[in-house]
């Protein structure tokens, strides 16, 4: 019976946790069990998990380590728990989050309800206009360096729930299974990839940084998204003093500021024309630097503004290239759109929030690939009815305009006219003559509306 269990964990919470884990998907852990495999015997799996958690006998299995390539050539270790362990962590996260959310700092944006990375970038942009200097902080290997005793001390400050404290400690100390199959113990950190890890990492820096800044430097505003931190200063000297003080503070919390990636940046624009070594910084996928803009609707100037960073644009370009759209001749344009529109819309929705034109040249690559895809139809015999061919071109271009972008549709229409000319096919109802070529392009364009 439920009353006999030492820990009161409602079965409903386990069910709700599974629904969240299923929605997030994710890879299998060390047991190789996928979400579909787990769901095949869902009732028994959830009951077994609830029974063990409620009785205190649940011990998390090792976390599977996967090294994710970074833009600078290095790798980031990612820890992937099993599906069952992700459900168990979600149960704890659902309990812990309502206790933590009210106490977090207003300028902490990571993994919080009602806050986003875009909110952090927007606030940073506003403050960069008011403050001349920025201290761009980088905590070296943050998720792997969190001290367990300090972490548990912070958790105990907000809850005395015995099962939450018990399982958080077990999750922190769960071993890591390497890619070669060996299992190694861990002595610090919380696996980046665990369900409860973001909440724990946020809580740790809440005390290590947010509250310390509020007590010691209340006049210096900042934005923090997990371990990405930007501080705004009025002078280079103030930024240097803060850097030194933060190095000591983080050392006391057993963290280290990256000596090369942490830097002081001058926010240069039309009104701030000094020359200093660092005049740009990256934050959450955006690069802040002086950019062309228009003030008061008509005055050309340079403002210190964010836009999609070169690293982000390079990552997008590589992703588009790996799609090999031009080789997907077995797919219709609608099928291609269904496959890739979520990516395209996500990039536009995120990076298009600031200095949208920075995306133009990168996303133009999609247009070019769509055109290459359209220029590789099956070979057409001489007796093919050109009217049917043209109607296919118009249909493709119309769908291209609706699904991708108008520029792709226009280019597609013009390329297909070139295709007709090269294959000596008469456009239906019109003699192919140089004088009529432009008019025919307009005719095809009008069909796209």
Could you give the residue ranges of the DSSP H alpha helices within 290-379? 310-323, 333-351, 360-374
Per-residue pLDDT of 31-55, as tens digits, reads 999 999 999 999 999 999 999 999 9
Question: Which has more pLDDT, 255 or 421?
Answer: 255
The pTM for the full model equals 0.82
- pLDDT, tens digit, 9 for 90 and up, residues 117-172: 999 999 999 999 999 999 999 999 999 999 999 999 999 999 999 999 999 999 99
**Cβ count near 398 (within 10 Å):** 17
Query: In which element (H, E) is residue 200 found?
Result: helix 197-205
CA distances from 374 to 382, 410, 426 (A): 19, 12, 19
d(CA 24, CA 349): 20
Please say if the pLDDT value at position 386 is more than 60: no
Q: Does 417 score more than 80 pLDDT?
A: no
Query: Helix, strand or coil for residue 318?
Result: helix
Residue 115: CB atoms within 10 A of its CB come to: 17
Beta strands in 62-155 (DSSP E): 63-69, 75-80, 133-138
Q: Are strands 75-80 and 63-69 parallel, antiparallel or unpaired?
A: antiparallel
Instruction: Assign 5 a pLDDT band (cuts: 50, 70, 90).
Output: confident
Integer Cα distance of 54 and 5 in angstroms: 6
The SS3 of residue 189 is coil
Cα–Cα distance for residue pair 346/84, rounded to 1 Å: 29
Neighbours of 72 (CB within 10 A): 8
Lowest mean pLDDT among 15-29, 30-44, 426-440: 426-440
Q: How many helices (H) and strands (E) does the chain have?
A: 17, 11
């Amino acid at each position: 019976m439920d009353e006999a269990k030492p820990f009161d964990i409602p079965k409903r919470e386990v069910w709700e946790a599974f629904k969240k884990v299923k929605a997030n998907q994710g890879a299998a852990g060390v047991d190789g069990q996928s979400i579909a495999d787990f769901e095949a015997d869902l009732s028994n799996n959830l009951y077994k998990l609830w029974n063990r958690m409620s009785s205190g006998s649940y011990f998390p299995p090792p976390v599977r380590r996967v090294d994710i390539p970074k833009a600078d050539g290095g790798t980031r270790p990612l820890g992937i728990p099993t599906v069952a362990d992700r459900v168990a962590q979600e149960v704890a996260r659902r309990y812990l989050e309502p206790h933590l959310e009210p106490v977090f700092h207003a300028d902490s944006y990571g993994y919080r309800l009602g806050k986003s990375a875009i909110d952090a970038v927007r606030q940073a942009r506003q403050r960069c206009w008011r403050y001349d200097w920025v201290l761009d902080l980088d905590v070296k290997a943050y998720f792997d360096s969190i001290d367990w005793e300090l972490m548990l001390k912070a958790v105990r400050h907000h809850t005395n729930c015995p099962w939450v404290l018990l399982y958080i400690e077990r999750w922190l100390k769960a071993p890591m299974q390497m890619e070669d199959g060996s299992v190694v113990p861990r002595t610090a950190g919380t696996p980046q990839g665990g369900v409860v890890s973001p909440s724990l990492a946020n809580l740790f820096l809440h005390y290590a940084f947010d509250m310390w800044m509020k007590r010691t430097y209340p006049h210096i505003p900042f934005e923090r998204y997990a371990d990405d931190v930007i501080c705004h200063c009025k002078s280079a000297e103030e930024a240097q003093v803060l850097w030194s003080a933060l190095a000591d503070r983080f050392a006391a919390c057993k963290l280290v500021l990256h000596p090369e990636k942490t830097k002081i940046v001058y926010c240069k624009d039309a009104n701030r024309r000094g020359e200093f070594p660092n005049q740009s910084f990256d934050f959450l996928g955006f690069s802040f630097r002086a950019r062309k803009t228009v003030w008061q609707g008509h005055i050309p100037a340079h403002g210190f503004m964010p836009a999609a960073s070169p690293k982000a644009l390079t990552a997008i370009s590589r992703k588009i290239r790996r799609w090999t759209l031009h080789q997907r001749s077995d797919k219709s344009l609608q099928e291609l759109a269904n496959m890739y529109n979520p990516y395209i819309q996500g990039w536009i929705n995120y990076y298009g929030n600031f200095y949208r034109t920075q995306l133009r040249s990168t996303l133009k690559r999609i247009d070019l690939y769509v055109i290459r895809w359209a220029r590789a139809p099956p070979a057409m015999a001489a007796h093919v009815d050109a009217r049917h061919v043209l109607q296919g071109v118009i249909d493709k271009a119309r769908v291209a305009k609706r699904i991708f972008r108008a520029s792709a549709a226009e280019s597609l229409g013009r390329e297909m006219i070139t295709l007709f000319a090269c294959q000596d096919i008469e456009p239906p109802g019109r003699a192919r003559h140089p004088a009529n070529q432009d008019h025919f392009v307009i005719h095809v364009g009008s069909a796209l509306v």
